[in-house]
Amino acid sequence: MVIDAPKNRHRAPIRPLNAPTLLLTSGGLGFLRPAPGTWGSMPPGAIVGVMALAGATQYAMLTVTGVVLVVSCVICVAWGRYAETRFGRKDAAEVVIDETAGVAPATMVAVWLAQGLVEQIVAFGAAFVLFRAFDIIKPPPARQLEKLPHGWGVLIDDLAAGVYAAAVLAGAMLAWRAVM
């Protein structure tokens, strides 16, 4: 039975801690409190941040972020029905793989446009903050996209927030570059 309760009111138990649960919760990040969506938004920026510190190429960082995006989308859609059954409602707070996917487009813009380590780290942080803002505000059509069935509705609104964040970040970075 799927309950359409407010997202943060009902907390699901951590058990059974099986592979689909670990994947849907981005390795368990969805069980962290407060703000599980914020925790679930961290992996792409953290991964490319570590890669940037290690001197990885832009191509490598874009490739890894693209893989995170695609894999996260597949997990969210493939196990969308399972997530509803496991957590007892659609778009449960514990399911944060959609946030992991959603922040990836903005992270990719940060990787693509940032030059130098300091600018990269600032851009990764800006991508994260912009994504979280758009994910919380859910400007049209993001909120309407939540109504899609199962994993699609859980995922697509976050991808829309990620595209908004990517567009704002790209505009800001290009404007900054034009002024400097």
Q: Over range 14-24, report the average pLDDT.
A: 83
pLDDT in tens, 104-136: 999 999 999 999 999 999 999 999 999 999 999
Cα distances (Å, whole numbers) of residue 69 to 64, 80, 100, 178: 9, 16, 7, 30
User: The whole model's pTM is what?
Assistant: 0.87
How many Cα atoms are found within 13 Å in the side-chain-facing hemisphere of 70? 6
Q: What is the pLDDT of residue 36?
A: 92
| pLDDT, mean over the chain | 89
The pLDDT value recorded for residue 5 is 46
Phi first, then psi, for residue 9 (nearest 5°) are -80, -45
pLDDT at position 90 is 82
Q: With 60 as the cut, is the pLDDT of residue 93 above it?
A: yes
In the chain, domain spans = 33-179
Q: State the average pLDDT over residues 146-156.
A: 84
Rounded Cα distance, 157 and 31, in Å: 21
Going by pLDDT thresholds of 50, 70 and 90, the confidence category of residue 13 is low
pLDDT higher than threshold 50 for residue 25: yes
What letter represents residue 40's amino acid? G
**Confidence label for 149 from pLDDT (cuts 50, 70 and 90):** confident
